Amino acid sequence: MEKMRSSINRKSMARLHKTKVMIAGEQLRLRLHDGKLIKDRRYHLRTYPNCIVAQELTDWLISNKEAPDRATAVCLMQQLMDHDIVHHVCDKHSIFKDAKLLYRFRKDDGTFPFNTEVKVFIRGQRLYEHLITGRDSILQLREEQGVAYQHSIPGCQLMDWLLQNGETESRRQGLEFCRALLEHGIIQHVSKKYDFFDSRLLYQFCINFRRRRHLSELLNETERDKKEGASVHVLEDNHADSPFVLPKIPPQEEHSGFQSVLKRNVTCEELLSPGAPFIKRVLTVMGDAVGWGFVIRGVAPVYVQAVDPGSPAAAAGVKVRQFVCQVNGRSVLHLDYLQVTRLVMTGPRTVVLEVMEPLG
């Protein structure tokens, strides 16, 4: 049983990594087209459409801070070649060489392998765009077993939507599609306890297709996978400190279940006193499909307990041990973290935070 579970974890990780590589590859392809680096080129009296010179691509990756050096850039492009996203125009080289060789994205010449994995990915991405961009999105804040999950949807309601919008012809077909999405790491049960069922169980997208992915993330994940084997490297949404859930526990119990990051207790009066060792910052956090990416704890004042690396919060400058003074212009100094969390989660996607950050 343990071996079977380990095998399933490895397959899930491989599929999730494949999905991330495809997203990163497509984002890179579009950026290179916008920068006019992908174009028709002539070599030995023959014209090769929509291709790029390897050396120029390496230069571009370094100048755009996608890679710190040429060796890393080559490794990144090899990842895309290994996943059949990029290839040599004549398929004479199976490795990416930092030379005056021509390479092309398979999507630009129609050789991209549309296997089952790719088809599930494309349909999942299309479904994500439909559900996340609608004015009256059916992805909403909902509760399951006393925990609130943002951008979630009951399985039965997702099935209804697929049928009503012509994405599937029957509920059985819809069930097969949704289970394929779950198997490929595109959606998941909110607490990762169940497979997909046509029921009131809640599900979420576990991939933000819109987030810009740096290619270096792919190498970092690959190295982690080699070191940690079948460990699952995704944020556990049912963890008490997850930035994507709203724990339903009384504020007075906050210190009983986790270790605070604060070095000492700070009062509201101390934060507001003249000459206090804090600096005020105003941060604008633009939430994405899975939330904002930070955890708050505490009571009068609330403070930042954790920040998810690569999240909107991290990009906006939210840091651990900052104290939250205002949310969208409203003072929250004398509120507890549950009240502030609900204020954020039920408000607009773009959140303006006024925080006090310790000096030094």
Cα–Cα distance measured from residue 80 to residue 25, given in angstroms and rounded to the nearest whole number: 7
- Condensed to tens digits (0 to 9), the pLDDT of residues 22-61 reads 888 888 998 899 889 999 998 888 899 999 999 999 999 9
pLDDT at 120: 85
Task: Look up the CATH number of domain 1-105.
Answer: 1.10.10.10
Does position 154 have pLDDT exceeding 80, yes or no?
Answer: yes
pTM over 0.85: no
Quote the tokens at residue 138: 């059916």
Q: What pLDDT is recorded for position 246?
A: 34
Residue 239: its pLDDT value, please? 36
Residue whose C-alpha is closest to residue 149's, from 157, 140, 158 = 140
Lowest mean pLDDT across 165-169, 204-208, 250-254, 270-274 = 250-254
- Has residue 106 got a pLDDT over 80? yes
Dist. CA 59–CA 179, nearest whole Å: 42
Nearest to 158 by CA among 148, 168, 150: 168
CA angle 212, 214, 217 (to 5 degrees): 120
Tens-place pLDDT, residues 119-153: 888 888 889 888 887 667 889 899 998 888 988 99
Superfamily of domain 268-358: PDZ domain (2.30.42.10)
Asked whether this chain's domains 1-105 and 116-205 adopt the same fold, the reply is: yes
Question: What pLDDT is recorded for position 89?
Answer: 93
Contact 46, 65 (CB under 8 A): no
Residue 273 pLDDT > 70, yes or no?
yes
Q: What is the pLDDT of residue 160?
A: 94
Span 116-205 CATH architecture: Orthogonal Bundle (1.10)
Q: How confident is the model over 203-247, as pLDDT tens digits?
A: 999 877 777 766 766 666 555 554 443 333 333 333 333 333 333
Share of the chain above pLDDT 90, in %: 33
259/83: higher pLDDT: 83
What average pLDDT does the chain have?
81
**So where are the chain's domains?**
1-105, 116-205, 268-358
| Contact between 41 and 102 (Cβ < 8 Å) | yes
**Higher pLDDT, residue 32 or 260:** 32
Asked if residue 4 has pLDDT above 70, the reply is no
- pLDDT of res. 352: 93
Per residue in 283-302, pLDDT (tens digit) is 999 877 667 888 899 898 99
**Could you identify the residue written with the tokens 């549950």?**
338
At residue 7, the pLDDT reads 47
- pLDDT computed for residue 1 by the predictor: 43
Q: Place 325 in a pLDDT band, splitting at 50, 70 and 90.
A: very high
